[in-house]
Amino acid sequence: MKKFALIGAAGYIAPRHMQAIKATGNELVAAYDPNDSVGIMDSHFPEAHFFTEFERFDRHVDKLHRQIENKKIDFMSICSPNYLHDSHMRFALRSGADAICEKPLVLNPWNIDGLLEIEKDTGHKVNTILQLRVHPAIVALREKVKSQPRDKKYEVDLTYITSRGKWYLQSWKGDVNKSGGIATNIGVHFFDMLHFIFGDLQQNIVHHVSETKSSGYLEYENARVRWFLSIDVEDVPADILATGQRTFRSITVDGEDIEFSGGFTDLHNRSYEQILAGHGFGLEENRTAISTVAHIRDAQPIGLKGDYHPFLSK
């Protein structure tokens, strides 16, 4: 049984990590969040120590590391706001634990280089949750692409609209310096998925960027991709909105829909199983996706020119 600590226990994604820790037969012994709305812990690890002050959490983790050998933290799961991931992974490694970090791993590719140095110094490892890489439908599509001629280019449209209320832009997620913006916050795992399936990135053109939506064109070794991401409910197709749904997700490859809406419930469990078996996705696996979103954030949008996503013309 491995000992876990958790940073960001009050966050949206934290319960999936608690569930994965429990499902893999391990124990959460300490958790931290500046907010104390963490009643969900009662459903998973009611005996875990909880802290709202990082200094107290730091002291507790250090005490376990130095004084109580059988309580030493083996893994630290990080579910904090995006801009804090880098610092919290550094803390985990320097505390004698391996890190398991939510997406996006970091906001900029040079942060990866610094973490590689700390991995080398400490002998501990950063793992990340790239859950789409373990989704059966995505794995099957990757194998299909690999079986085709190496120079084949697929035509791909990626559309993801996940409506958010007015609260979103008032939270850290609405601050590009903290979240990285729409493409980073809700898109980075899709960009990683595209790289995973279609190979190295060759071209990155940005057509539109705003607080609530982003769109562009990506070309990979084996695909030309038009992508559109939004948190604006007005972008949900009318027929979908009429059914009461406020989200819309579509990926088409050469005009064929790729259905992967199901199978999401246990992807964190699968990710944890791989990490615990020593087969987790590390720092370098994240580099292409992080470089992709960093470029999107800094690029000058060109508008409705070239091969842009059809949703942009609405």
Taking residues 200-215, what's their average pLDDT?
97
List pLDDT tens digits, range 181-196.
Answer: 999 999 999 999 999 9
Tokens, residue 76: 């630290």
CA distance 91 to 154: 42
The three-point CA angle 65-70-72 to 5° equals 25
Residue 68: pLDDT over 80: no
The answer to whether residues 92 and 6 touch, using CB atoms and an 8 Å cutoff, is: no
Confidence of residue 262 (pLDDT cuts 50, 70, 90): low
% pLDDT > 70, the chain: 97
Tokens, residue 296: 């999107």
Residue tagged 């832009």 (tokens):
169
Residue 69: pLDDT over 80: no
Confidence of residue 266 (pLDDT cuts 50, 70, 90): confident
How many C-alpha atoms does 133 have within 13 Å on its Cβ side?
21
Confidence of residue 258 (pLDDT cuts 50, 70, 90): confident
What pLDDT, on the 0 to 100 scale, is given for residue 65? 86
> Which helix H or strand E contains 47, and what residues bound it?
none
Give the CA distances from residue 285 to residues 1, 131, 298, in Å, rounded to whole numbers and listed in that order: 27, 13, 22
Of 290, 286, 296, which Cα lies nearest the Cα of 108?
290
What pLDDT, on the 0 to 100 scale, is given for residue 38? 96
Q: Which of 7-11, 71-75, 196-200 has the lowest mean pLDDT?
A: 71-75
What pLDDT, on the 0 to 100 scale, is given for residue 314? 80
What pLDDT, on the 0 to 100 scale, is given for residue 66? 84
Tokens, residue 7: 């940073």
The answer to whether residues 52 and 11 touch, using CB atoms and an 8 Å cutoff, is: no
CA distance 219 to 209: 18
CA distance 89 to 81: 12
> Which helix H or strand E contains 211, and what residues bound it?
none
What pLDDT, on the 0 to 100 scale, is given for residue 260? 67
Q: Which of 107-111, 148-152, 189-193 has the lowest mean pLDDT?
A: 148-152
3-state secondary structure (DSSP) of residue 231: coil
Residue 218: pLDDT over 80: yes
Q: What is the largest CA-CA distance in the chain?
A: 62
The answer to whether residues 58 and 77 touch, using CB atoms and an 8 Å cutoff, is: no
CA distance 11 to 40: 10
What pLDDT, on the 0 to 100 scale, is given for residue 261? 64
What pLDDT, on the 0 to 100 scale, is given for residue 31? 98
List pLDDT tens digits, range 280-291.
Answer: 999 999 999 999
Confidence of residue 105 (pLDDT cuts 50, 70, 90): very high
Residue tagged 């012994």 (tokens):
29
Residue tagged 């070239």 (tokens):
306
The per-residue pLDDT of the chain, averaged, comes to 95
Q: How does DSSP assign 114-182, residue by residue?
A: HHHHHHHHHS--EEE--GGGG-HHHHHHHHHHHTS-TT--EEEEEEEEE---THHHHSGGG-HHHH--H
What pLDDT, on the 0 to 100 scale, is given for residue 115? 98
DSSP state of 21: H
Residue 265: pLDDT over 70: no
Tokens, residue 201: 């990135």
Q: Is the entire prediction scored with pTM above 0.85?
A: yes
How many C-alpha atoms does 1 have within 13 Å on its Cβ side?
10
CA distance 3 to 101: 16
